[in-house]
């Protein structure tokens, strides 16, 4: 039986909570916006049978600190580099879901020395399209309504009802569970403030405003697999196909029937795909190869730029 160890470290004066499990090659799991390490629980148990799994709560999320500060992709990427440094982990296979996929790509871009492989799960940062709900929450002044939209009494009562339904066998939807966790986390004022700063760093009324598409050629040196649910209603699966075409040698795994949380909705298949990916690839060439790609690249005229 795999034991999940809930631990914490202090980085730059801020408490960072993380889950650690297993032994072997290191996998870093990065959750999405309004999420936490809990989203990876079932996947962690499977992956930790042959790997060391590190699943942090990003700053501003879960049980980690929620300071006033920078919540951009770059800031999160630097924070994860520092977490690996504190844990004396030189390199890891980096797995990112949704917003965490954007962080994973930024980590590989800013700190290639830390990254051996890349796994993008329904990743953000690959095109402007995103759900209307996130665009609406990014509207100027929308935060004034959040105490009404996300009241604590609804969270508390809803969690109580959800647990009862789960015990009675009437609720067995991982997707609904993940959506509820995200919603209920916003009932607390510190979480809402951190969520707002995070959301507005990547989304406005037009959609996603940060794109990695013009830099994906740099992932050619790094083994990459892209995982998406074909029913995703948050970020369209078309982004996965586009990223697959843009990253030479990448793999694409489409989970039929899965929505925006394929790792939680189909954890056994997710573990199988990632474990096979780890076993069948060798770590990327490192910063020297990255440098060669950077200086030799000549963009084609159809490469999209940041909006």
- Annotated catalytic sites, by residue? 98, 232, 260
Task: Identify any residues that bridge with 226 across adjacent strands, giving them in sequence order.
Answer: 120, 252
Task: Give the whole-angstrom CA distance, residue 245 versus residue 1.
Answer: 39
Task: Give the whole-angstrom CA distance, residue 14 versus residue 190.
Answer: 14
Q: What dihedral angle (degrees, nearest 10) is formed by the CA atoms of 210, 211, 214, 216?
A: 130
Burial 259-269 (b: 16+ CB within 10 A, else e): bbbbbbbbbeb
Other CB atoms within 10 Å distance of the CB of residue 218: 19
Nearest to 221 by CA among 171, 281, 176: 281
For residue 110, the Cα-to-chain-centroid distance in whole angstroms is 17
Cβ atoms of 18 and 55 within 8 Å: the answer is yes
**CB burial of residue 61 (10 Å; 0-12, 13-18, 19+):** buried
Helix (H) or strand (E) holding 137: helix 132-137
Cβ atoms of 59 and 158 within 8 Å: the answer is no
């Amino acid at each position: 039986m795999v034991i999940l160890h809930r631990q914490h470290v202090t980085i730059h004066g801020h408490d960072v909570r993380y889950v650690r499990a297993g032994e072997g090659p290191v996998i870093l799991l990065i959750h999405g916006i309004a999420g936490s390490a809990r989203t990876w629980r079932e996947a962690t148990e499977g992956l930790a049978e042959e790997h060391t799994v590190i699943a942090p709560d990003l700053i501003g999320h879960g049980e980690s600190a929620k300071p006033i500060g920078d919540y951009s992709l770059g800031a999160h990427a630097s924070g994860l580099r520092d977490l690996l440094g504190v844990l004396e982990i030189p390199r890891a296979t980096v797995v990112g879901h949704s917003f965490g996929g954007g962080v994973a790509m930024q980590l590989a871009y800013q700190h290639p020395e830390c990254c051996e492989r890349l796994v993008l799960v329904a990743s953000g940062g690959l095109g402007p399209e995103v759900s209307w709900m996130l665009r609406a929450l990014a509207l100027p002044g929308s935060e004034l309504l959040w105490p009404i939209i996300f009241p604590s009494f609804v969270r508390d009562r809803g969690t109580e009802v959800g647990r009862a339904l789960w015990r009675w066998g009437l609720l067995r939807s991982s997707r609904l569970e993940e959506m509820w966790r995200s919603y209920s986390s916003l009932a607390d004022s510190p979480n809402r403030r951190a969520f707002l700063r995070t959301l507005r760093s990547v989304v406005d009324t037009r959609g996603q405003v940060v794109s990695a598409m013009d830099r994906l050629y740099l992932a050619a040196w790094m083994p990459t697999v892209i995982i998406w649910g074909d029913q995703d209603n948050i970020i369209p699966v078309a982004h996965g196909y586009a990223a697959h075409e843009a990253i030479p040698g990448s793999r694409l795994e489409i989970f039929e029937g899965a929505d925006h949380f394929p790792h939680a909705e189909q954890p056994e298949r997710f573990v199988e795909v990632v474990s096979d990916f780890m076993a069948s690839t060798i770590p990327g060439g490192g910063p020297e190869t990255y440098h060669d790609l950077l200086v030799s690249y000549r963009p084609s005229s159809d490469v999209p730029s940041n909006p």
